[in-house]
Structure 1
Amino acid sequence: MAESTQLKSEVLLEQMKLHLATDAGKKLTKEIGHVYQLNIAPTKIGFDEVIFVVDLKKGEVKKGPYEDGKPDVIFSFKDEDFIKIATGKMNPQIAFMRGAMKLKGSISAAQKFTPDIFPKPAKM
């Protein structure tokens, strides 16, 4: 059986890449100025994680670990929980308290990582 581990998060992060190139995205980069590493697991935190970097200093989204020193925050989540948080269906603080999201690094930087930074899904 072919292993199709396309994460839903990957699609959202591709949209984020395009979003950061827009004026609204450039404004975000100026306002936030932090680097977030996202370790996203298909089903269980810590297993088979796919790593993305959302660099809100440079306005970039890349697949793979951050290579310019240390990111401000490293988040770990399951794919479905990341989608819920990014789309505003789950409160990030509640996700953290329930263990649906883990973080290492700056708490103040982590608090700026809200659903508002993500592009809104296109209305059909």
Structure 2
Amino acid sequence: MWKRKKKDCLQTKINTCEEGDSDLYVTLTSASKNPSTKATGLQSDLIFEELGRRIKEVGSQLVKKMNAVFQWDIVCGETIMAQWTLDLKTGSGEVYQGASRKPANTVFTLSDHDFMELALGKMKPQKAFLAGKVKVKGNVLLSHKLETLLREYVKL
């Protein structure tokens, strides 16, 4: 009889998130499916970093109007590639990478490609939601209010 050695193995999956998307993601998964807190190299990272810079300028005005916390889960297939949080509830507002430190009022789940389409104005949020490209947990009405305020205060 042969003796089998116990090995710790990582499962490797290669996913493409969207048709025509030139990015190819290699996902190494173990028992945990939590995203790393390091930069992921996604296009949406650039948008959130810029949003963070702009929130520093007008965040206190947005906190007064919104008083809410928003979280985005950027996914590829079923795997969360990145999480970003927009905290418009405390201080003068903050954008940071990772899950919300406080309970989020609204959580958006969408692919990097769909997020970029929304951010660049190539896709309307309502159509994306109705088509199932964006999943929303929590207060959906806050997402409409967020869209209006971000267009008014934070021009990307």
TM-score w.r.t. the length of structure 2 is 0.65
Residue 88 of structure 1 is matched in structure 2 by 121
For these two proteins, the number of residue pairs brought into alignment is 115
Residue 32 of structure 1 is matched in structure 2 by 66
Gaps of 5+ in 2: 1-25, 27-38
Q: Shift of residue 116 of structure 1?
A: 5.0
The one-letter amino acid paired with 2:120 is T
Secondary structure, aligned partner of 1:120: coil
Give the Cα separation in 2 of the matches to 1:54 and 1:89.
22
Secondary structure, aligned partner of 1:111: helix
Q: Shift of residue 110 of structure 1?
A: 2.0
Matches for 1:66-105 after TM superposition, within 5 Å = 66-68=100-102, 70-105=103-138
**Match status 1:61 vs 2:108:** no
Gaps of 5+ in 1: none
Secondary structure, aligned partner of 1:49: strand
Are the equivalent residues in 2 in contact too, given 1:86–1:115 (CA < 8 A)? no
Are the equivalent residues in 2 in contact too, given 1:39–1:50 (CA < 8 A)? yes
Give the Cα separation in 2 of the matches to 1:116 and 1:82.
18
Secondary structure, aligned partner of 2:51: helix
The one-letter amino acid paired with 1:49 is M
Specify whether residues 103 and 86 from structure 1 end up closer, same or farther in structure 2 by C-alpha distance, changes over 3 A only: same
Secondary structure, aligned partner of 1:48: strand
- Higher RCO, 1 or 2 (CA under 8 Å, sep at least 6)? 1
Deviations 1:39-96 (A, max 9, x none): 012x43x32331111111231011111122x200110011111122123221111000
Specify whether residues 33 and 89 from structure 1 end up closer, same or farther in structure 2 by C-alpha distance, changes over 3 A only: farther
Deviations 1:14-38 (A, max 9, x none): 011110111x343222222211010
> What RMSD in Å do the two structures reach over aligned CA positions?
2.1
Structure of greater Rg: 2
